[in-house]
Amino acid sequence: MKKIVILGAGYAGMICAVNLQKRHMPFTLINKHSYHYFTTILHEPAGGRNDFDDYSVDITYLLDSPTSTFSKEEVVEIRPHDNKVVSKSGEILYDLLVVALGNAPEYFGIAGLAENSLLLRSLESAKTIRKHIEDQIKLYKEDHNPAHLKIVVGGAGLTGIELCGELSEWIPQLRSNYHILEEVDIINLEAAPMILPMLDAALQEQARDVLTKKGVQLRTSEKIVRVNPGEVELASGEKVEASTIIWTGGVRANPLVAAAGFTCDPRGRAKVNEYFQAEGFDNVFVLGDSACLLGADGKPYPPTAQLAQQMGEHCAKNITGLVLSDHPLKPFVFHYMGTLASLGSEVGVGNVKGIKTRGVPANLLKEASKAKYLFNLGGFRLLADKRGQFTR
Ligand code: NAD
């Protein structure tokens, strides 16, 4: 039997793993944490909603068959010419490799940004943001420095906008808990002239209306060009002081992908064919945010969770067919389901299969998509165990 190794337990790697497990295909999954977390909804606990435990699941809870092996290790190098992966604790040989190592922040070379901003990209970073914001409120009680009451979120893509929606609900609670009468500014700075560029103009306007009414300051056409400790500099020359600066300005591939020598696009994503094979390496499948997969229009698909999940499932089917019956690989066809953005815990905006939705229905659809993911991953058992996600 061929040795199958999956690197990374994000959306792509985890869905690939559970689908191989369903087909009784032996594999080894390697991940640096012992748990899988739900990246696209981390704005909820980061912004004060629910318990952190509701946003991750132990990998061994999901992989419970004797044909599945999980190894908690950090990969440091991929050597595709030697069919070998190097981790902090040794070397692992493979016949077939699935690279699903996710993304890294894109800083666009902006001076001081990496050093002076927080990120929302992992369970730990979500905890850091929540604690940091609460700490600023406590500090304000002591020193009355107004910078503690200013939160800057850089970028108005899904991550930035959904986080602002959460903060707009949590901050009033925090102010009340700590008896702060002064306003806390939530300032979103976006370089482009619009927010949520993946939605059409009418939906963007609806999202803007909702968030503005909730007190979020949405400042578009404001490019961040430099970040100093506690201060953001804009292209206009204006400086915005804030004790909390969160960067949600974009992602690139995990740097291990380019370091492995795969042919990559400018965002460090390995160029792959319709079977996800990396150029020149038929036994290496690159999935999710680490892959540059072209759509029918010749442009790379943007890195989304739904693409990662569909790639993971398709890859598992292809690998099973290849290993068990030497079936030719089937080309991948992406089924775009739509995009939904939550704007706090009650309302949202987006489109589903081409139909526009907003307000409470959009939020309910978003909640349904969260439930569907949990079900696909771990059936009713996981859905029941993570029901805390749906409490507010
Ligand atoms: P993004 O690339 O989608 O958006 C980043 C935004 O930051 C852009 O609008 C960009 O114009 C802006 N920006 C870049 N440089 C800037 C600067 N110097 N100053 C001010 N603004 C600047 O990034 P994201 O929101 O982090 O999302 C990353 C990926 O993850 C996307 O593909 C997204 O679809 C996906 N995601 C999905 C979900 C979901 O499914 N609900 C949630 C979060 C993220």
Tell me the per-residue pLDDT of 55-103, one tens digit each, with 9 for 90 and over.
999 999 999 999 999 999 999 999 999 999 999 999 999 999 999 999 9
d(CA 291, CA 249): 19
Ligand 1 contact, 232 CB (< 6 A): no
Instruction: CATH 3.50.50.60 in the chain: give the residue spans.
Output: 113-247
Residue 340 Cα: closest atom of ligand 1: 41
| C-alpha 123 – ligand 1 centre gap (Å) | 18
CA-CA-CA-CA torsion for 24, 27, 33, 37, nearest 10 degrees? Answer: -40
- Whole-number mean pLDDT of the chain? 97
- d(C-alpha 145, C-alpha 142), whole Å: 9
**Distance from the CA of 339 to the center of ligand 1, in angstroms?**
13
Phi, psi of 132 (to 5 degrees): -60, -45
* pLDDT tens readout for residues 216-232: 999 999 999 999 999 99
Whether pLDDT at 18 is above 90 = yes
Asked if 25 contacts 323 with a C-beta cutoff of 8 angstroms, the reply is: yes
Residue 22 and residue 115 in contact, taking contact as beta carbons nearer than 8 Å: no
CATH 3.50.50.100 location in the chain: 4-105+251-336
Active-site residues, by number, are 162
Assign domain 113-247 to a CATH class.
alpha beta
Residues β-bridged to residue 75: 87
- 108 CB near ligand 1 (under 6 Å): yes
In this prediction, residue 390 has a pLDDT band, given cuts at 50, 70 and 90, of confident
| 249 Cα–ligand 1 center, Å | 5
| In this structure, CATH architecture of domain 4-105+251-336 | 3-Layer(bba) Sandwich (3.50)
pTM beyond 0.85, yes or no: yes
Pocket of ligand 1 contains residue 133 by CB under 6 Å: no
Q: Is the CB of 250 under 6 A from ligand 1?
A: yes
